[in-house]
Structure 1
Amino acid sequence: MSVELTPADYPLSINRPDLLTTPTGRALSDITMSAVVAGEVTNEDLRVRPETLVLQGQIAESVGRRQLGENCRRAAEMTAIPDEEVLAMYNALRPRASTGAQLEEMAARLEGTYDAATCAALVREAAQVYAARNLLAEED
């Protein structure tokens, strides 16, 4: 999706609903209370698409919010990661919960299994900071 967005496009749901669809391909306008009551809307219809998060990040960066843009790109990558694994990663990233090798293994899995290079870079950065601050778990 190569669309140049500006702050005028925010919020997308009002100013650019043509860009928003559900993971099942439904238009945003199809998600109505009557469709929910009729059983036409599934849980998958209520999940965010990675493309939507990338668009939100693009708007954030257009107003100088680089870090928020990066967060949106990481979130877009994370949509492909099963919820259980996200929770395990969250726990593994707590100070002293993982060794440097375990964090590198996590980063490699993010890149290799989920094509999540931005998330992998964050894990590697955390490992470096934890090492510098003596916050890594002890090696067995």
Structure 2
Amino acid sequence: MKNPIQEKKRRLSKEDYPLGSKSADLLFTTTDKAYDELTLNAAISGEIKGTDMRISPKTLEMHAEISESLGRNQLAKNFRRAAEMINISDARILEIYNAMRPNRSSKEELLKIAQELEEEYGAVENASLIREAADVYERRGRLKEIED
């Protein structure tokens, strides 16, 4: 079955929200299951697994488009960062989260994480956010003290 989102020409807007009711034909999971295939009966019968239930980057991008149409640009950025994180393991996300806590990482360590996100995952928005945080932490004295 061809994924209709690949054929989508127009940008989505508030008229398309909620997607599950108004544009369900555009929704697919990361394993290419269609939204209407995600039923309780399918779960009980084993036709779908937990991995079939993960939101796809394309769906998050659609939510970003809708958010932008409403002037909610920060929310759109959040959706795009979330889309970038889909292919990063939960364990690595938690490691990065802990590294981002004040006084847990040096600026160099945070910049290495940003570089990793860009180079290994193509997560440009997340890398930018971490670089920005590293600069803010530096100005506010929230970086890990480096021992001699």
With the shorter chain as reference, the TM-score category is over 0.9
Counterpart position of 1:51: 58
1:70 aligns with 2:49: no
User: Deviation digits for residues 19-44 of structure 1, max 9, x if unmatched?
Assistant: 10122212111111111111101111
Superposition map of 1:30-109 within 5 A: 30-109=37-116
Gaps of 5+ in 1: none
Counterpart position of 1:111: 118
**TM score, norm. by length of structure 2:** 0.92
What is the one-letter code of the residue matched to 1:96? Answer: N
- Distance in 1, matches of 2:103 and 2:113, equals 15
* Identical residues among aligned pairs (%): 43
Counterpart position of 2:24: 17
Counterpart position of 1:29: 36
Q: Which moved more, 1:22-31 or 1:103-112?
A: 22-31
Aligned residue-pair number? 140
- Distance in 1, matches of 2:13 and 2:116, equals 34
**TM score, norm. by length of structure 1:** 0.97
Gaps of 5+ in 2: 1-5
1:134 aligns with 2:132: no
**Are the structure 2 counterparts of residues 130 and 48 from structure 1 closer, same or farther at C-alpha, using a change threshold of 3 Å?**
same
- Distance in 2, matches of 1:111 and 1:24, equals 23
- Distance in 2, matches of 1:64 and 1:121, equals 22
- Distance in 1, matches of 2:86 and 2:31, equals 14
- Distance in 1, matches of 2:138 and 2:126, equals 18
Deviation at 1:3, TM superposition (A): 3.9
What is the one-letter code of the residue matched to 2:105? Answer: S
What is the one-letter code of the residue matched to 2:35? Answer: L
Q: What value does the CA root-mean-square deviation take over the aligned residues?
A: 0.9
- Distance in 2, matches of 1:101 and 1:18, equals 45
Moved over 2 A (4+): none
